[in-house]
Amino acid sequence: MDDPRRKVPRTDAVLTDPRLAVGLTRLGHPLVKRTVMQVLDEVRRGELAADTVVDTVVERLPATATGLVAVLNATGVIVHTNLGRAPLSQAAREAVLTSAGYTDVEFDLVTGERAPRGQSTVAALAAAVPDAEAVHVTNNNAAALVLAATALAAGREIIISRGELVEIGDRFRIPDLLESTGARLREVGTTNRTHIDDYEAAINADTAFILSIHPSNFTQSGFVASVPVHQLATLSAPVVHDIGSGLLTPHPRLPDEPDAATSLKAGAALVTASGDKLLGGPQAGLVFGHTEPVNRMRRHPLARALRVDKLTLAALEATLTGPPAPVPAAIEADSTVLAERAQRIATVLRDNGVKAEAVACRSRIGGGGAPEVTLPGTAVAVDAALARPLRTTRTPVIGRVHNGRLLLDVRTVSATDDDALTDAVIAAATATPCA
């Protein structure tokens, strides 16, 4: 018998096929060649026919020249850290494309001179929180805290409650971060109870500021006590409030989540927050506060290492000035509309032979924000055996398995993606024998 390996085409011959011309232009030679070689290896192992090589390569070429894969988030967790946190609005995406080329990010088109970086973004941020005398942007909230501690407290003391020495994802601990700046932590109170006189007794000539950290990824209940910002602001040391999740103004569905405007009105000298959580923008650290400390942070040498690029500036500005981003839209989504969408999807699935039903569920905020808040919604329940096939499709769908079924929560799926979600489930069910 003929050895099938003799029919394997040469790599260079495949690469010259006209059907790969568009992919080579769009993705580049190395990426296309790597895909060709992977397909040829499958042919050598007898897993593919030699005459299907080019068609298979065309089918497998990625949409973009990045290893990141776009997914449909059907988990019901709105700000899902493992899935990239906040999805950008269409306005923010278009702004990123506009800023991808040469821009006037540090250039005045009228005078022809160098200009302050990202002026329009800074103006939009200041307009969003008018109680702030000054604003600044870093590359994430941890960077904002590092910059504050370095510029304002290096070699001095930061007073912090023991109940706020928090650890967040991947064993990242706030105390370690702060101490790395050269500041010293002055811990006060106990794990469960801290009073205003604990802070007052700790203030001395070496105190740089009092740090209040919102424990956004956990809650304490029972015999607990903490001191709100408006009381801390009556003491003789300035207050820095890390609100974490990036709410700029109060939100009726998140009554216990602190916001930048309220903290500033309560007397905080500085407020730091994340841009890629409840605000729904790109990863960024947002700094609001009094002019003097913000300017000290902005002018510190470390600020250059922690600054954001033009893509982030563009996306942040569009998030602030454009239509509602997906995160706030998902939080505010009407439960009746969600139920109708889930019912329609389930009906189409059943019409195509897939066992499915719309079921009530509870969605979560995620991303270390509002840990006790759940939002009523509706999910499409399908066989749990579909979880892996859906994760490994060309446009992966990520749901959550609950009580032996895979729940596809429509709150975190854009209505414009309902058809894509439905098609993916049908394709996965067709290829997967379900129990």
pLDDT at 168 over 80: no
Q: What is the pLDDT of residue 2?
A: 60
Q: What is the pLDDT of residue 403?
A: 92
Instruction: Identify the band that residue 166 occupies on the pLDDT scale cut at 50, 70 and 90.
Output: confident
Q: What is d(CA 120, CA 416) in angstroms, rounded to the nearest whole number?
A: 31
Residues 6 or more apart whose Cβ sits within 8 Å of residue 55: 19
Closest CA to 276 of 76, 92, 75, 71: 92
Q: Where in the chain is the domain with CATH 3.40.640.10?
A: 90-323
CB atoms within 10 A of CB 180: 11
Class of CATH domain 90-323:
alpha beta
Residues 6 or more apart whose Cβ sits within 8 Å of residue 138: 144, 147, 284, 285, 287, 303, 306, 307, 308
In angstroms, the Cα distances linking 118 to 144, 218, 250 are 17, 35, 27
Q: What is d(CA 299, CA 228) in angstroms, rounded to the nearest whole number?
A: 30
pLDDT at 435 over 50: no
Helix H or strand E segment including 398: strand 397-398
Mean pLDDT of 267-278: 97
Tell me if residue 158 falls in helix, strand or coil. Answer: strand
Amino acid identity of 9? P
pLDDT at 434 over 90: no
Q: What is d(CA 342, CA 421) in angstroms, rounded to the nearest whole number?
A: 11
Mean pLDDT of the chain: 93
Q: What is the pLDDT of residue 118?
A: 94
Tokens standing for residue 120:
């329009």
The pTM of the full predicted model, rounded to 2 decimals, is 0.90
Tally the C-alpha atoms within 13 A of residue 201's C-alpha that lie toward its C-beta: 9
Lowest mean pLDDT, pick from 211-220, 243-252, 287-296: 211-220
Tell me if residue 14 falls in helix, strand or coil. Answer: helix
pLDDT at 6 over 80: no
* Domain covering 72-84+328-431, topology: Aspartate Aminotransferase, domain 1 (3.90.1150)
pLDDT at 83 over 70: yes
Instruction: Identify the band that residue 5 occupies on the pLDDT scale cut at 50, 70 and 90.
Output: low
Instruction: Identify the band that residue 1 occupies on the pLDDT scale cut at 50, 70 and 90.
Output: low
Tell me the backbone φ, ψ of residue 158, rounded to 5 degrees: -115, 125
Instruction: Identify the band that residue 305 occupies on the pLDDT scale cut at 50, 70 and 90.
Output: very high
Closest CA to 411 of 70, 69, 68, 80: 80
pLDDT at 293 over 60: yes
Residues 6 or more apart whose Cβ sits within 8 Å of residue 18: none
Q: What is d(CA 281, CA 322) in angstroms, rounded to the nearest whole number?
A: 11
CB atoms within 10 A of CB 234: 11
Place of tokens 């000539």: 205
pLDDT at 124 over 90: yes
Mean pLDDT of 327-333: 96
Q: Under a CB-based contact definition with an 8 Å cutoff, are residues 121 and 96 in contact?
A: no
Q: What is the CA radius of gyration of the chain?
A: 26
Closest CA to 380 of 416, 334, 427, 348: 348
- pLDDT tens string 14-32: 999 999 999 999 999 999 9
